[in-house]
């Protein structure tokens, strides 16, 4: 990693180190938008391409991880809207000086903490979130059958359960 | 805290849905797509054609040409270092076509490089600055204009899928 705040001078080894450190997080974020594997791969690759084309504008190499995760989220959101048939611009990118500081939570250690909080939730939240997390390709209809819930209730219940889990985690980290 | 980040952290914490090796390999290969000394050309609005409601629609609207079996996207314009690069893309039969024009005329020794992460094709622009490439894999694409005596000018990467 360069130390002169000149990210443009990064070499191949430093680049590969960046990939090793962040590609798992970027992939997880892209998939969290419900993208297929092919679309998620495009979103992740798009974020790396944005890094190449913005290399001269990166002034704080220490924040590259947050920038990569933020940019992946941006590309994933755009591809998700496109997949739903919305007309979206492919030319707007996030401000390179403003990576999302909350991106730091995309981390396996933090994820394990969240799993412990999940155990504090009652049913059906615990089982629903577990299924949703561990089976990214599962459809609501499949989850409904597994949990014996009306399929129409899966989306709203999932949103409510995730909101409760998020509140628990934020309370713990306050 | 964003729900997507929470969900991503949960999956990472459980070791579920790890990143495929192909995605990591593609990320490593992006390093080779840098344009050392190049000048990034940012998007600029196109002039609003008569009857069009806004320049944004003119620049990014997607038109499905079902009769031709192709999905065609609008013209995108990029500019830097006194050079304008217009690009139009289409996907036909699962392959991407890229056509465009550079202006002002970049000189007789100029070369246009149309790049995807997998393949690059080089063209000599015509006397009117036009260029065209076919048979590319759909996905990310960028155009680089090489002019003797000038730094290369490269467009932002754009995403093209059927």
Of A71, A105, A139, the residue that ends a domain is A105
The interface residues of chain B toward chain A in range 74-133, judged by CB-CB distance below 8 A, are 76, 117
Banded pLDDT at B48 (limits 50, 70, 90): low
Torsion of CA A47, A49, A54, A56, to 10 degrees: 130
Asked whether residue A1 is domain-assigned, the answer is no
Residue B62 has pLDDT above 80, yes or no: no
Distance CA B127, CA A66 (A): 46
Distance CA B4, CA A29 (A): 6
Cβ pair B105, B112 in contact under 8 A: no
Q: What is the DSSP letter of B151?
A: -
Look over chain B and give the mean of its residue pLDDT values, rounded to a whole number: 85
The nearest CA of chain A is from the CA of B43 a distance in Å of 7
Q: What does the DSSP assignment read for A81-129?
A: HHHTT----SS----TT---GGGGG-SHHHHHHHHHHHTTS-TTHHHHH
Going residue by residue through chain A (174 aa), what tens digit of pLDDT does each one get? 444 445 667 789 989 999 999 999 999 999 999 899 999 999 999 999 999 888 766 666 678 888 899 999 999 999 988 888 777 776 665 565 567 778 888 889 999 999 999 988 989 999 999 999 998 888 888 889 988 898 899 999 999 999 999 999 888 877
- Between residues B45 and A98, which one has the greater pLDDT? B45
How high is the pLDDT of residue B69? 40
Whether residues A65 and A14 share a domain: the answer is: yes
Residue B17 has pLDDT above 70, yes or no: yes
Whether residues A113 and A70 share a domain: the answer is: no
Nearest to B40 by CA among B157, B159, B160: B157
Whether residues A68 and A80 share a domain: the answer is: yes
Query: In A, which residues are within 8 Å of B13 by CB distance?
Result: 108-115
Whether residues B19 and B88 share a domain: the answer is: no
| CATH code for the domain of B69 | 2.60.40
Of A62, A80, A105, the residue that ends a domain is A105
Cβ pair B30, A45 in contact under 8 A: yes
Whether residues B56 and B19 share a domain: the answer is: no
How high is the pLDDT of residue B60? 42
What are the CA-CA distances from residue B88 to residues A79, A90, A92 (Å)?
20, 13, 18
Domain that holds residue A168: 108-172
Query: In A, which residues are within 8 Å of B16 by CB distance?
Result: 133-134, 136
Verify whether the Cβ–Cβ distance B5 to A42 is below 8 Å.
no
Residue B157 has pLDDT above 60, yes or no: yes
| pLDDT digit string, tens, across residues B64-86 | 333 334 444 578 999 998 999 99
Q: How many domains does chain A have?
A: 2
How high is the pLDDT of residue A95? 60
How high is the pLDDT of residue B72? 45
| pLDDT digit string, tens, across residues B83-135 | 999 999 999 999 999 999 999 998 889 999 999 999 999 999 999 999 999 99
Verify whether the Cβ–Cβ distance B11 to A90 is below 8 Å.
no
Whether residues A83 and A154 share a domain: the answer is: no
Domain that holds residue B76: 37-160
Verify whether the Cβ–Cβ distance A106 to B30 is below 8 Å.
no
Cβ pair B112, B132 in contact under 8 A: no
Verify whether the Cβ–Cβ distance A37 to B20 is below 8 Å.
yes
Neighbours of B108 (CB within 10 A): 9
The residue of A53, A108, A134 whose CB has the most chain B CBs within 10 angstroms, and thus the best one to mutate to test that interface, is A53
Whether residues A99 and A115 share a domain: the answer is: no
Whether residues A28 and A69 share a domain: the answer is: yes
Distance CA A119, CA B19 (A): 26
The nearest CA of chain A is from the CA of B88 a distance in Å of 13
How high is the pLDDT of residue A17? 92
Whether residues B15 and B85 share a domain: the answer is: no
Asked whether residue A76 is domain-assigned, the answer is yes
What are the CA-CA distances from residue A164 to residues A9, A97, A118, A137, B139 (Å)?
45, 32, 9, 23, 38
Whether residues B28 and B101 share a domain: the answer is: no
Q: What is the DSSP letter of B33?
A: G
Cβ pair B40, A67 in contact under 8 A: no
Query: In B, which residues are within 8 Å of A129 by CB distance?
Result: 10
Q: What does the DSSP assignment read for chain A?
A: --SSS-GGG--HHHHHHHHHHHHHHHHHHHHHTT--HHHHHHHHHHHHHHHHHTGGG---GGGHHHHHHHHHHHHHHHHHHHHTT----SS----TT---GGGGG-SHHHHHHHHHHHTTS-TTHHHHHHHHHH-TT--HHHHHHHHT--HHHHHHHHHHHHHHHHHHHHHHT-
Q: What ipTM score was computed for the predicted complex, to two decimals? A: 0.88
Cβ pair A20, B19 in contact under 8 A: no
Cβ pair B115, B141 in contact under 8 A: yes
How high is the pLDDT of residue B68? 39
Whether residues A16 and A78 share a domain: the answer is: yes
């Amino acid at each position: 990693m360069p130390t002169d705040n000149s990210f443009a001078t990064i070499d191949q080894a430093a680049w590969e180190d960046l990939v090793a450190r962040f590609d798992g997080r970027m992939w997880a974020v892209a998939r969290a938008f419900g993208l297929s594997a092919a679309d998620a791969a495009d979103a992740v690759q798009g974020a790396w391409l944005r890094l190449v084309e913005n290399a001269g504008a990166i002034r704080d190499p220490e924040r590259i991880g947050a920038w990569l995760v933020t940019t992946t989220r941006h590309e994933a959101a755009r591809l998700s809207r496109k997949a739903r048939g919305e007309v979206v611009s492919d030319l707007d990118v996030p401000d390179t000086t403003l990576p999302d500081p909350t991106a730091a939570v995309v981390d396996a250690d933090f994820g394990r903490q969240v799993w412990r909080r999940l155990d504090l939730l009652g049913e059906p939240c615990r089982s629903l979130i577990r299924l949703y997390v561990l089976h990214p390709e599962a459809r609501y209809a499949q989850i409904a059958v597994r949990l014996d819930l009306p399929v129409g209730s899966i989306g709203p219940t999932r949103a409510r359960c995730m909101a409760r889990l998020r509140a628990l985690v934020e309370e713990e980290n306050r | 805290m964003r729900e997507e980040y929470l969900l991503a952290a949960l999956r990472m914490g459980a070791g579920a849905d790890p990143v495929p090796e192909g995605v990591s390999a593609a990320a490593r290969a992006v390093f080779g797509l840098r344009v050392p000394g190049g000048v990034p050309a940012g998007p600029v609005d196109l002039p609003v054609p008569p009857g069009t409601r806004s320049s944004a629609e003119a620049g990014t609207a997607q038109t499905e040409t079902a009769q031709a079996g192709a999905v065609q996207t609008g013209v995108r314009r990029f500019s830097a270092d006194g050079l304008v690069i217009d690009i139009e893309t289409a996907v036909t039969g699962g392959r991407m076509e890229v056509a465009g024009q550079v202006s002002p005329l970049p000189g007789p020794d100029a070369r246009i490089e149309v790049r995807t992460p997998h393949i690059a094709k080089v063209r000599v622009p015509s006397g009117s600055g036009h260029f065209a490439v076919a048979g590319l894999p759909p996905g990310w694409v960028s155009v680089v204009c090489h002019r003797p005596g000038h730094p290369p000018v490269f467009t932002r990467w754009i995403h093209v899928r059927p």
